[in-house]
Amino acid sequence: MSPALLPALLGLTLLLSRTQALTCQSGSAVTVRNATELPLQWTVGEKICDEGWGCQDTVLLLGNGPQVLLVLTKGCTQKENQEAHVTDHRAGPGLSIVSYTSVCRHKDLCNDLSSTLPLWSLPSPAAPGSVRCPVCLSTEGCESATEVTCPIGHSYCYNGVLKFRGGGINSKLRVQGCMSQATCNLLNETREIGSLSVSENCGANGMEVLTCQSGALGRVMNVTELPLEWTAGQEDCREGWGCQDTLMLLENGPQVLLVLTKGCTQEKDQEARVTEHRAGPGLSIVSYTRVCRHEDLCNDLPNTVPLWTLQPPAALGSVQCPVCLSTEGCESATEVTCPVGHSHCYNGIFTLRGGGVSGKLRVQGCMSQEACNLLNETRKIGSLSVSESCDTDASQTCEKGTMLRFQRNLAKEPLEWNMFGTVKCDLAEVCQETLLLIDVGSTSLIVGSKGCIKTETQNSQAVSIHSGPPGILIASYTHFCSSNRCNNARSTSVLLNSLRDLAAPVPGDLQCPTCVQLSRSCTGSGTVTCPKGTTGCYKGYIGLEGGGLTSPLSIQGCMAQPSNYLLNHTNMIGPFHTVEFPEDVNKDRQSGGAPKDLQSGAAPAPYLARVVGLGLSLALWCGMTTLLTLFPCDS
């Protein structure tokens, strides 16, 4: 072989080993069959996965007398590898549920389960009892269900609706059959089976537990971008709840604010209604609202067409006004000549809340009357609560400051938590105060931040335990509030008070090095005896950015949870953006050391992707999340 070719081939080999894009078997099916047809076999398609993803098999069999439900999904997954596992969620006779799950990465098409043989065997005949129950598996209804005599010990008749979602499946099934107990717990508390999310409902009108389109979006755009279309996510509602659509357009010269919410609601049914709250020219507001219960996904408004048409140019008058729609401010607003009859300049703050939307908007534009009444006394539009204020300054003042402290026993001994001044927030922001505690036993770290934040949850307080005990304890406190200087906690006891019930650790046999430092690697770490219940030693670091701090936190200590991740893939804690790099994930395949991008000081690709994601989130109005995909209508 030519020496010149050798480096090229080595480079190709390294490139291929880094890519590791698997090809997986792919497909899904939901079918009710006669039990006599089992075992069943299948063939499926193929799909190329994203880099690092694995292949998954999920098969569920629900046996019910003469019938059996097969739910099958194959494809790509981000989940960790899992050996093939068969689980009896509910044993027969009577209603029974068994599943097969597997995640693999060792070769292409490794998710190669091709039949029901590993999880099904013909059940032995059961001795009949005295109770008779209707038996049914149906996606439609069970009006013509056949009655059977239940086995001995199964003296209750189950009647419920199962929902399956995930892996290309979104299905609802009416189930009736024999049970050994009077309970709505056919799934034995199971909520996830492989790639499937599963749920059940046993209300009298079980089939009326709706699935609705779900999502929220707020966006300021040019009028020329209208009309728009979107796609939405889905959510299961509570029994008796309906589906709602709320769409509002606020037009202001060359700009328009679009606010859209979809989801579940307790409100009564309402036919689709278009309301003109304020007519143009000049500032105008129009909305579309609907509540329905007649079928799943009935809140199916797909675009702005029902409530927007291009208006002809208006005759101009002599008054000029600044025109602005902004979550930041209107210092650079453009002046325009107002239409005839619109001789007053409006300047106010527009506030919306509800349906996953929460935010404030500065509005300036042309009005026909001198009044702070852009909304014409409207206070509610569908799922939205709306209000306005024409005060010159509606922004919020918050306490600000960053705290960082290393010492022993920070999980038990509270510290003072003082501010270092105040800050004026943008219109779309509220006050926040956040604490992050990491305790490895021999030492501990607490990080605190006070300031402004854009968040969907504008008034909330929560304590989260991300890891431990036993083992490394990571806990956080977050508080978001919307009044001046409301982020005024003066001690870390706001977090510690929720940790007092944690049991004192009992020493075990395992020993691990411990450390928490502001670096990518620990230096001078000591060794401790781990508590009982820990199973291994953790070594890695967490990239922390935001809230006045940007630094890696190197961590070593005892670990109890089966996952490699202390934060369980949590990406945001208050203002802190977090990305975790356990050592076994960051091993260089050939040298066993840290990857070259870490050694050089560059952020690894996943970290960069999440940092870029922060920038993208700024495009969403008021920092809210969205399950909606937005795109222009075809002309």
Over residues 432-474, the pLDDT tens digits come to: 999 999 999 889 999 999 999 988 676 789 999 998 788 899 9
Are 430 and 396 in contact, with CB atoms under 8 Å apart?
yes
Residues of 518-541 as b/e, b for ≥16 C-beta within 10 angstroms? eebbbeebeebebbeebeebbbbb
Last residue of a domain, one of 338, 366, 389: 389
Q: Residue 43 belongs to what domain range?
A: 22-208
Per residue, the 3-state secondary structure of 115-137, as one string, reads: ECHHHCCCCCCCCEEEEEEEEEE
Same domain (yes/no): 166, 261: no
613 falls within a domain: no
Same domain (yes/no): 382, 429: no
Distance, CA of 400 to CA of 484 (rounded, Å):
12
624 falls within a domain: no
Token match 């395949």: residue?
589
What sign does the CA torsion over 77, 80, 82, 86 have? Answer: negative
**What is the maximal distance between C-alpha atoms in the chain?**
93
Eight-class DSSP state of 571? -
Same domain (yes/no): 278, 383: yes
Please give the single-letter amino acid code of residue 56.
Q
242 falls within a domain: yes
Q: How many helices (H) and strands (E) does the chain have?
A: 4, 39
Same domain (yes/no): 125, 26: yes
Distance, CA of 365 to CA of 349 (rounded, Å):
12
Residues of 375-400 as b/e, b for ≥16 C-beta within 10 angstroms? beebeebbbbebebeeeeeebbbbbb
What sign does the CA torsion over 529, 534, 540, 545 have? Answer: negative
- Output the six-digit token pair for 404: 């960082």
For residue 470, cis peptide bond before it (omega within 30 degrees of 0): yes
Distance, CA of 466 to CA of 542 (rounded, Å):
13
Q: What is the pLDDT of residue 584?
A: 57
Q: What is the pLDDT of residue 610?
A: 30
Eight-class DSSP state of 601? T
Last residue of a domain, one of 389, 405, 429: 389
213 falls within a domain: no
Neighbours of 246 (CB within 10 A): 26
Query: Which residue stretches of the chain have pLDDT < 70?
Result: 1-19, 203-208, 391-395, 456, 458, 562, 584-635
Same domain (yes/no): 99, 228: no
What sign does the CA torsion over 374, 376, 377, 381 have? Answer: negative
Are 575 and 451 in contact, with CB atoms under 8 Å apart?
yes
Q: What is the pLDDT of residue 389?
A: 86
Residues of 575-598 as b/e, b for ≥16 C-beta within 10 angstroms? bbbbbbbbbeebeeeeeeebbeeb
Same domain (yes/no): 558, 579: yes
Same domain (yes/no): 233, 195: no
Are 247 and 232 in contact, with CB atoms under 8 Å apart?
no
Q: What is the pLDDT of residue 295?
A: 84
Q: What is the pLDDT of residue 262?
A: 96
pLDDT in tens, 184-207: 888 888 889 999 989 888 865 444
Are 277 and 376 in contact, with CB atoms under 8 Å apart?
yes
Last residue of a domain, one of 175, 208, 241: 208
Q: What is the pLDDT of residue 483?
A: 80
Same domain (yes/no): 307, 369: yes
512 falls within a domain: yes
Length of the chain: 635
Same domain (yes/no): 458, 579: yes
Are 313 and 302 in contact, with CB atoms under 8 Å apart?
no
DSSP state letters, 52-87 = T-EEEEEEEEEEETTEEEEEEEEEEE-SPPEEEEEE
Reported as type and span, the H/E element at residue 181 is none
DSSP state letters, 528-567 = EEEETT--EEEEEEEEEEETTEEEEEEEEEEE-SSSS-SS
Reported as type and span, the H/E element at residue 277 is strand 270-278
Distance, CA of 586 to CA of 599 (rounded, Å):
11
Counting beta carbons within 10 angstroms of the beta carbon of residue 371, is it exposed (0 to 12), middle (13 to 18) or buried (19 or more)? Answer: exposed
- Output the six-digit token pair for 63: 């046996």
Reported as type and span, the H/E element at residue 14 is helix 5-19
Same domain (yes/no): 318, 266: yes
Reported as type and span, the H/E element at residue 493 is helix 493-496
Q: How many domains does the chain have?
A: 3
Same domain (yes/no): 418, 366: no
Same domain (yes/no): 50, 190: yes
Q: What is the pLDDT of residue 393?
A: 60
Q: What is the pLDDT of residue 588?
A: 35
586 falls within a domain: yes
Distance, CA of 197 to CA of 247 (rounded, Å):
30
End-to-end CA distance of the chain: 59
Neighbouring-strand partners of residue 176 = 136, 159
- CA-based Rg of the chain, rounded to a whole angstrom? 29
Q: Which long-range contacts (CB under 8 A, 24 or more apart) does 3-12 make?
A: none
